[in-house]
Structures are given as C-alpha cells and as structure tokens.
Chains A and B, each alone.
Chain A
C-alpha cells in the first residue's frame, strides 16, 4: 500500500481528469463572496462606464485564467459596459485575440466602439503609470495598429478618472503592479483573477479593501460563469478538477494508512 507504482498514479489521475469531460455530473457550484462582489460591482455599471480587463498571463496558466477573462468580458458586453482589453505580458495579446473576437461576434459588438484591444508595451509599471496619467502615452495605437485618437470609444477616456474598474488576471505578481502604481497613488478600483495556487496570497488585500473581489482558480471562473448564466469551459473543467481532487485525497489517505500500518509493524 505504501509503494504504488507512480505510473499507476499517473494513469488514475489522467482518467480522473479526462473521463469527467464525457460524463458530466452537473453538481451545483457554490458562489463565494469574493466572486459575487465583482459580479455585483459590474452589475451597478452603466453603458458610460469603462472596465479595463488586463490578461496578464502566459500560455502555461491560460487554461485557468482565459475562462475568467472570457466570463468577465461577456458580462461587460452583455451590460453594454465599455471594455479596454490589454495585457502586461508579451504573450497576452496572442492569447486574448481569439477570445475577444469570439465574444464580440456573439454579442455583435464593434471594435473601437464598444471595446478596444490594446497591444503589448514594454515595462509593467511604466504602462500602468502612463495609463493612469494619459492612456495615449501608454498606447498610441490599438492592437490592430489604428491610432487610438481615431477610435470612438476613446472619446471621453483619458486617464484614471475615467476607469471604473480594473481587473488583472494573472498567475504572477502582476496584480501588485496595478495595486502599487494604479490603486495606491490614483485610487483606481481593482479586482483580480488569479490561479488557485496564488489565491491564498490575495486575502489580506481583499480584507483591506484594496481589491473589491477575486476569482480564485478555475472555480472562480466557474462561479462567474454560473452568475452570468453562461456555463462554458470553466464549468466543464470543474468536473475534472472535482475528481482530480478526490483522487489526490484518496492517495493521501492510502499513503497514510500504509504509513501507519508500517509504523505499527515496526
């Protein structure tokens, strides 16, 4: 019991993650306060308001964070809230482009009018500071190379006073860049979506009110999909995560039973 071949462990884990995609249980997803707070905040926004969605992640954490970005983008477009999509990471725009295109097509929204998509610019804190001071300094053109002064959405969007919410989706410390250079000096309202492994680090900032809420891992994304009634990839993924967690717990129990049995024999 204490020495199961690791290949068997890998096989069981693989099965526990693949099979749920074919056999869905459809268990209800409980909503946590941190996620509901972001949803409620966006619900209060009007079509004149602006939300910045910053997909600050690389492909490695994209399966966890892309569904969050998509869920919030869908919610904002549904509410006719203006969205500025961007990324502090060089690989970010490439990851966000297909999501933005798909969601915008679903809601029949126009680039440059209902939303804008910004390119990658070097320097995390430089981008954030420039955006707070004057967005044209940070991004002279959009992702597609159009001068942003020519885009109707930017009429009335100049600096931090015009941003109603900034949400950073990240698997790194990029959220702290928005916190240090956006929230603290300029008072911009922040929320974040982070990988499950980073979620534990964020609670002090939520309690202090520096972030209005947080989406933690795939579950956070699945909760948001439930709230906006658009059950997609994250909800499907939760079934796999469900069983993967159960299998890991079972392995921990088996390992400990074996360990205790060995101890008694000795």
Chain B
C-alpha cells in the first residue's frame, strides 16, 4: 500500500508544489532544478517507449496464445514490427532501404487509406442523418452546407449575386463569417471552460483528491 499509494501521492504533491514555485521564481536554483527535470524527462520518455513495446508484444502475444478472435492479425502485427526493426538496424533508414520502402509503400499507404475512408462514411452518414428535423437542426444543416461550399473554389464561382451586387458576400465570405464570428464565440467559451477544467483537475491531482491516474479505481 505504501509503495502503491502513499509514495506516488507524496511524489505528485511535492513535484506539483515544486514546479508551481519554480515557474514563478527566476532564481539560479530554480533554473537548475528545471534543467535537471528536462534531462530526466527525456530519460523517462525513452523508458516509457520501451514500456510501450513491452505492452504491445504482451497484448498481442496474449491474443495469439488465447486464440482470440482475429488473432492472426496480432501475429502479423508482431511479425511486421520485428521485420521493420530488423531491417532498420541492418540497413538503416535512408531512401531506398527496405525499412523506408516498407514505411512509404505499406505503412503510409495503409494509414492514408484508412483515413480516406472517412469521406465515404461522412457522405453516407450525411445522407442518412443530416435532416431538417427542427429549427436548430435546420440552422446547423444550412451552416454546414454554406461552409462546405465556402471551403472549395466552386463556392466562389457559383456566387453569381456577388457579380451583380459586389457588396454582397460570396459563399466563401459567408463561410468565413460563420467560422470567425459564431464559431469562434462558441469555441472561445468552450476553450475557457476546458482551461478552467484542466486547472481544477491539475489542482485535484496535486492535492491527491483525483487518484484515477493511479489505476486503482480510487
């Protein structure tokens, strides 16, 4: 209990307090303390990366061992990570090496493809769910259509009224107004709320009130 609870809580409290003081005190001792932290943070970060690899192999290893659904994918994930690492160590990562070719023509292509699927899902979801069910939904729908048109060159080209009455804004102009006035007002309010929330949560963690990060369910 002492190692798992009291000591981590004490470290969090002491370090939280020290960093709080350090930020506002421009003294040599304070600066040295911060420089020491920067060096330590790099070391901790590297060890955290090692931990991530261990966790990755452990999680996928367990899936293979238990023959969990779709376990062959775990086998592929482990095999590919080892193959890439092996070629990286043997050949390096210059252009034309196996490592770089696998990165460019397999990993980049796969990740790009996965993300591009969003376009298809958005189109399907927009057709099924974007309905003018209420005044608010209609306002959202109109704003979305204007912003979508305003964010592509076609929006500017089809704003025929702007050619007749130049003082009237084009789709691009209206979209910019939506983004820089109502959108910004909402985002700023949300940003202030999130900022205050982060401050409160930080304070609760330093004081030991919020302990869920310890993973004990407290």
The interface stretch among A148-156, A159-167, A253-261 is: A253-261
The interface stretch among A39-47, A74-82, A91-99, A105-113 is: A91-99
Q: How many angstroms from the CA of A22 to the CA of B21 in the assembled complex?
A: 61
- B residues within 8 A CB of A245? 148-149, 151-152, 154
Chain A contact-residue range equals: 35 or more
Counting CB contacts under 8 A, is B157 at the interface? yes
- A residues within 8 A CB of B103? 91, 94
Q: Give chain B's interface secondary structure class.
A: helix
With CB as the reference atom, state the residue of chain B lying closest to A238.
B153
Contact A94 B93, CB 8 Å, known A252-B126, A259-B131: yes
Q: Give chain A's interface secondary structure class.
A: helix
Contact A122 B45, CB 8 Å, known A32-B176, A60-B114, A245-B148: yes
Counting CB contacts under 8 A, is B122 at the interface? yes
- A residues within 8 A CB of B176? 32-33
With CB as the reference atom, state the residue of chain A lying closest to B175.
A32
Contact A63 B131, CB 8 Å, known A238-B152, A245-B154: no
- A residues within 8 A CB of B139? none
Contacting residue for A123 out of B45, B107, B170, B183, CB 8 A = B45
* CB pair B157 A28 closer than 8 Å: yes
* CB pair A130 B154 closer than 8 Å: no
Chain B contact-residue range equals: 35 or more
* CB pair B120 A9 closer than 8 Å: yes
Q: Kindly supply a per-residue 1/0 record for chain B positions 159-203, scoring 1 wherever the CB is within 8 Å of any chain A CB and 0 otherwise.
A: 000000000001010001001100110011001000000000000
Q: Kindly supply a per-residue 1/0 record for chain A positions 48-68, scoring 1 wherever the CB is within 8 Å of any chain B CB and 0 otherwise.
A: 000000000011111100000
Counting CB contacts under 8 A, is B65 at the interface? no
* CB pair B132 A256 closer than 8 Å: yes
